[in-house]
Amino acid sequence: MSLSPCPEKRHHLKLHCLADAVGRPVAFHLTGGEAADCKAYDDLIDLPEQAPDAFLADKGYDADAIRADLAERKIKAVIPGRSNRA
């Protein structure tokens, strides 16, 4: 989700949301609009009190480091691969 609080100055923000299994928001993280989505992962993954069974995200979170971290935590990665993923 991109927010532009000041359109004439072109400052953009991204709001990342962590949700539970039925889609209820649990936590939010705000980043600059130019930041890659995967940069919010470290802040989001440690927020819930109980580790999730799966991490569902868009391909902006498709990074080897994220997939490796999820595997180490025994969390299923439900992330579509980028077009250049082998």
1: pLDDT strictly greater than 50: no
Measure CA 40 to chain center: 6
Question: What pLDDT is attached to residue 33?
Answer: 83
Tokens at residue 30, please?
């705000």
CA–CA separation, 42 and 69 (whole Å): 10
Instruction: Tell me the pTM.
Output: 0.74
Neighbours of 55 (CB within 10 A): 21
Tokens at residue 21, please?
């299994």
What are the pLDDT digits (tens) for 26-54?
A: 888 888 888 888 888 888 888 778 888 89
What are the pLDDT digits (tens) for 52-73?
A: 889 999 898 999 999 999 999 9
- Look up residue 17 and give its amino acid: C
End-to-end CA distance of the chain: 28
